[in-house]
C-alpha cells in the first residue's frame, strides 16, 4: 500500500540539483520517486526500466549522482536517497496513526452502542484522555547502512536557522565533520540544527 503523501520542498530541490544536467536530475527524481512510493531501494539492474524509452548515459549519470552523494548504493546493489527513505517512513507513520485512530473510534462507538451507560460515562468515553507522546527510537536506518536518520521537522528547523542555504549540502558537511561521533550523540537532530546555525553565521550565500 502506498503512503498518503510525502513532504516536498521545491526550493530545496532546485538548490540541490543546480549542478546536475537535465538528464541527471530526471534520473535522480525517478529514483527518489521510487523510494518515496515504496520505501525500498531501486535495484541497480532495473534502473533502465524507470524510463519508458531507451536512454543512453544512465551509467555515467548514476556515477555522478553517487559521487555527489545524491544516491547511495548499498551492498545488495540497491539505489536509494536517505531523505526520500526517511520521508517514506514518516508518511507511513502518519498513515498508520490515522488508521489506528479511525479503528479506535469505530471500536469505541460500537462499544457505546452495545453497552448502555450514564450520560457522564458516555461523555468520558467519547472524549478519552490523549495518549502521551512516544519516545522516538528509530534514529538508525533499517536499510543496512546504519546511518543516523534525522526527523522531517529537523530539516524545517535547519531551514529557519540557515535561510537560503542548501540544507542537504549542510547535512553532508555536518556528517563529515561529526564522523563516527554522530552515533553517540544524545540528540543528533538538535546537533544538526546547531551546526547549521553556527556554520552560516556571518557568511553570505
Place of cell 535495484: 43
What pLDDT score does 179 carry? 84
pTM: 0.50
What pLDDT score does 139 carry? 56
What pLDDT score does 115 carry? 74
Would you tell me which CATH number, out of the four given (1.10.260, 1.25.40, 1.10.150, 1.10.10), belongs to the domain 10-84?
1.10.10
DSSP states along 43-96? EGGGGGGGSSS--S-HHHHHHHHHHTTSSEE-TTSEEE-HHHHHHHHHHHHHHH
Averaged over successive runs of 10 residues, the pLDDT of the chain (205 residues) comes to 72 93 96 92 93 92 95 94 91 87 88 69 52 46 66 92 90 88 86 92 78
Domain boundaries, the chain: 10-84, 152-200
What pLDDT score does 134 carry? 41
What pLDDT score does 141 carry? 54
Determine whether 29 is exposed, middle or buried from the number of CB atoms within 10 Å of its CB (0-12, 13-18, 19+).
Answer: middle
CA atoms within 13 A on the CB side of 124: 5
Place of cell 548515459: 57
Place of cell 550523540: 185
List all residues 6 or more positions away from 19 whose beta carbon is below 8 Å from its beta carbon.
68
What pLDDT score does 48 carry? 93
Question: Of the candidates 144, 155, 150, 104, which has an alpha carbon nearest to the alpha carbon of residue 126?
Answer: 104
Q: 155 by DSSP, 3-state: which?
A: helix
What pLDDT score does 35 carry? 92
Amino acid at each position: 500500500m502506498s503512503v498518503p503523501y510525502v513532504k516536498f520542498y521545491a526550493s530545496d530541490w532546485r538548490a540541490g540539483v543546480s549542478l546536475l544536467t537535465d538528464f541527471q536530475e530526471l534520473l535522480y527524481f525517478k529514483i527518489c520517486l521510487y523510494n518515496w512510493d515504496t520505501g525500498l531501494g531501486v535495484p541497480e539492474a532495473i534502473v533502465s526500466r524507470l524510463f519508458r524509452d531507451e536512454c543512453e548515459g544512465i551509467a555515467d549519470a548514476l556515477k555522478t549522482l553517487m559521487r555527489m552523494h545524491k544516491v547511495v548504493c548499498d551492498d545488495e546493489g540497491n539505489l536509494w536517497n536517505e531523505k526520500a527513505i526517511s520521508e517514506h517512513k514518516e508518511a507511513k507513520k502518519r498513515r498508520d496513526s490515522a488508521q489506528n485512530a479511525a479503528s479506535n473510534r469505530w471500536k469505541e462507538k460500537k462499544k457505546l452502542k452495545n453497552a448502555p451507560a450514564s450520560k457522564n460515562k458516555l461523555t468520558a468515553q467519547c472524549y478519552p484522555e490523549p495518549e502521551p507522546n512516544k519516545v522516538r527510537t528509530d534514529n538508525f536506518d533499517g536499510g543496512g547502512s546504519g546511518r543516523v536518520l534525522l526527523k522531517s521537522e529537523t530539516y524545517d528547523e535547519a531551514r529557519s536557522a540557515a535561510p537560503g542555504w542548501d540544507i542537504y549540502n549542510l547535512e553532508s558537511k555536518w556528517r563529515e565533520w561529526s564522523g563516527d561521533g554522530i552515533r553517540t550523540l544524545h540528540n543528533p537532530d538538535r546537533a544538526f540544527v546547531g551546526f547549521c546555525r553556527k556554520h552560516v553565521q556571518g557568511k553570505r550565500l
